[in-house]
Chains A and B, each alone.
Chain A
Amino acid sequence: MSDDTKTRDTLDVWVAGTEEPQFTPTDEGAQEMALHETESRLDEELGRVVDDDYLFEDVIDEDERMILNMGPQHPSTHGVLRLQIELEGEIIRRTKPIIGYLHTGMEKTAEQLNFSQGGTNVTRMDYLAPFHNELAYSLAVEKLLGMEVPPRAMAIRILLTELNRCSSHLVALATNGMDIGAISMMIYGFREREQILAFFEKTTGLRMNHNFIRPGGVAADLPPGWKDDVADIIEQLPKRLKQYDDLLENNPIWLSRTRHVGVISAQEATAYGITGPALRAAGVDWDLRKAFPYSGIEQYEFEVPLGENGDVYDRYRVRVDEIMQSLHIAEQVMDSMPKGDYRVDDRKITPPPRARIDESMEALIHHFKLFTEGFKVPPGETYVAVESPRGELGCYLVSDGQASPYRMHTRAPSFANLQALPIAMADSLMADTVATIASMDPVMGDVDR
């Protein structure tokens, strides 16, 4: 913990083919499992609290257990998560998720970028829900600035974030299905997603990582003809979702692989800070869109789907229902999109339109100042949270009056959700691991930042 500023030289990593690798592969990264503090904690971890039929004897010989390493490179498409699993035969006794394989130093980078550039950085954290990241960041900056964005900007933000919720849940369903074995789900999910991504590309210019929601509003207005595209999506998607139901809903293989698997009860979920579909699947009615509404979402009517048991099946069901609800919100936004500015008119914050730069000296100066120096935000700190497809995505922003944040921290939902993996996986079979991880839907960019 010294103030040691020696950094690892990035060029120290060996260049291919010139030297011997400096590591011994078999010892790499073995970590201590969680230490037991008390008898009751030990009982919890060994799964003795749960009554099950696999436990034939009360005391298990320590020698019969094997520690298995799963990841960080493994075919489950959830990124670079590494699990150290203690197995007794096929049954998992203890798990330790080891993360950090995608750590990008985004919070450090955020201190180097100014406030309008911050969106490019933040959007790559949870890369399946980039609009939500940008929204949380922009709302935090706007709170510090004390400004309100115009109603059209708020409506555009809601439209984009709700469609993004659909596309993120489609990936979750696709990978969930593929991991459990229904490989056609992968094709279905990505097929639907292409339609939504085409709309995003038309609006923002990019399929992913858009940097479109910026402090002050959005970057550009919706393109002409957007209503037809959105109406198309709203019409097509429910029919395709019905195809998923045909494949999975009454499928006995699916049901037996997902029901009562990876159970997280409501108490465990609240204790571990889990939010999002995993919490709602356990039966807790908590959605930030209803509890602490943001960006004008309270004007739209929608329901919050809940589950009962907190198992993999409930999480899958909650996600499918959430897609339907998000489409309902998108439809209402489409029908009631207010006219007006798509961003705040304050020239100190948002750049002037490009055409004005030729005409007005002031516009030129504003443009220059904004793109070289950036706008300064008064000192303060705030925490703003939005409901991302994975849970509560929050941005804690501290400013000290400069043009770049003093500290920007993102409260990542997947980071907190992963803490419950050991609990969800305790005493279950090895084969259920994959289903459980897939249903928690962690995005490693979010976890590691």
Chain B
Amino acid sequence: MSEENGTVDEVVVEERALPENTILRSLFEEFEDIIWELSHGQDVASVPRERWAEFGESAKAAGFEVCVDVTAVDWMRQRPDRFEIVANLLSMQHRLRLRMITTAPREEPSVASLVPIWPGANFAEREVYDMFGVTFEGHPDLTRILMPDDWEGHPLRKDFGVGSVPVQFKESNRVS
């Protein structure tokens, strides 16, 4: 991420924000296009979609043996890419947590699967597929897990209604 100022002997290099922890630092230094942020004291890595699996492998090699969770957020129209895929990692040996996030577009959202790296991501990715419709390439068995097999629609998307049945004397479910 370096900008050239025009003249040869003045090169302005933007200082990339890097975490203090040495293990995380070396992990981020390996990848140039990944942004590090601190969200309420937790390290978050924004990874471009094409490098998702690659970053995952490096993270595992750096000591993050456990993939705690894979989930998604549907940002509807608030962001250019509709879905945000979030994977929480845990390193038991170094006592560290790391969150990696990436985005997936509105049409045919698809991300590489983390199952070849961490087998424990299997059910979590199936749940994201079931609830959001995001496909994971390389997943051994991407089928619906929580809803019946013939269910249509993806419930946790924002345009899927709650499905509530009208109840006498109660006008709405939405609070605010």
B residues 112-149 touching A (CB-CB < 8 Å): 118-124, 127, 131, 133, 135, 140-141, 143-149
A residues 134-165 touching B (CB-CB < 8 Å): 143-144, 146
Contact of B120 among A7, A274, A291 (CB under 8 A): A274
Complex-state Cα separation, A394 to B124, whole angstroms: 13
Contact with B along A391-426 (1 / 0, CB 8 A): 010101010101110110101000110110000000
Question: Quick check: A382 and B40 within 8 Å, CB to CB?
Answer: yes
Partner-binding segment picked from A101-109, A182-190, A247-255, A317-325: A101-109
Contact of B176 among A10, A144, A404 (CB under 8 A): A404
Complex-state Cα separation, A401 to B88, whole angstroms: 23
Closest partner residue, chain B, to A288 (CB atom): B90
Contact with A along B87-113 (1 / 0, CB 8 A): 010101001010100000000110000
Question: Quick check: A394 and B146 within 8 Å, CB to CB?
Answer: no
Q: Is A34 an interface residue (CB 8 A)?
A: yes
Complex-state Cα separation, A346 to B153, whole angstroms: 42
Question: Quick check: A272 and B146 within 8 Å, CB to CB?
Answer: no
Q: How far is the CB of B148 from chain A (nearest CB, A)?
A: 7
Measured between beta carbons, the chain B residues less than 8 angstroms from A411 are 68-69, 71, 88
Contact of B151 among A8, A29, A416, A418 (CB under 8 A): A8
Closest partner residue, chain A, to B133 (CB atom): A1
Question: Quick check: A34 and B152 within 8 Å, CB to CB?
Answer: no
Closest partner residue, chain A, to B175 (CB atom): A114
Complex-state Cα separation, A108 to B69, whole angstroms: 18
Question: Quick check: A419 and B123 within 8 Å, CB to CB?
Answer: yes
A residues 358-393 touching B (CB-CB < 8 Å): 373-374, 380-383, 385, 392
Q: How far is the CB of A405 from chain B (nearest CB, A)?
A: 11
Question: Quick check: B68 and A35 within 8 Å, CB to CB?
Answer: no
Question: Quick check: B149 and A31 within 8 Å, CB to CB?
Answer: yes
Q: Is B1 an interface residue (CB 8 A)?
A: no
Judged by DSSP, the binding face of B is: loop
Q: Is A88 an interface residue (CB 8 A)?
A: no
Complex-state Cα separation, A449 to B131, whole angstroms: 12
Measured between beta carbons, the chain A residues less than 8 angstroms from B165 are 10-11
Q: Is A286 an interface residue (CB 8 A)?
A: yes
Q: Is B81 an interface residue (CB 8 A)?
A: no
Contact of B175 among A5, A10, A99, A374 (CB under 8 A): A374
Contact of A108 among B40, B155, B175 (CB under 8 A): B155
Q: Is A37 an interface residue (CB 8 A)?
A: yes
Interface size class of A (residues with CB under 8 A): 35 or more
Complex-state Cα separation, A35 to B115, whole angstroms: 14
Known A7-B153, A100-B147: A382·B174 in contact at CB below 8 Å: no
Question: Quick check: A114 and B176 within 8 Å, CB to CB?
Answer: yes
Known A10-B163, A374-B175, A381-B39: A394·B69 in contact at CB below 8 Å: yes
Contact with B along A12-41 (1 / 0, CB 8 A): 000000000000000001011011010000
Listed in ascending order, the chain B residues whose CB lies under 8 Å from chain A are 39-42, 65-69, 71, 73-74, 78, 86, 88, 90, 92, 95, 97, 99, 108-109, 118-124, 127, 131, 133, 135, 140-141, 143-149, 151-157, 159-163, 165, 173-176
Told that A1-B108, A407-B73, A416-B120 touch, could you supply 17 new A-B pairs with CB distance under 8 A? A1-B133, A6-B153, A8-B152, A31-B149, A35-B140, A100-B146, A103-B147, A105-B162, A112-B162, A144-B40, A272-B120, A273-B66, A383-B69, A396-B88, A404-B175, A416-B68, A416-B123
Listed A/B pairs (10) with beta-carbon separation below 8 Å: A4-B153, A5-B153, A5-B159, A7-B163, A270-B66, A373-B176, A383-B42, A396-B88, A411-B71, A416-B124
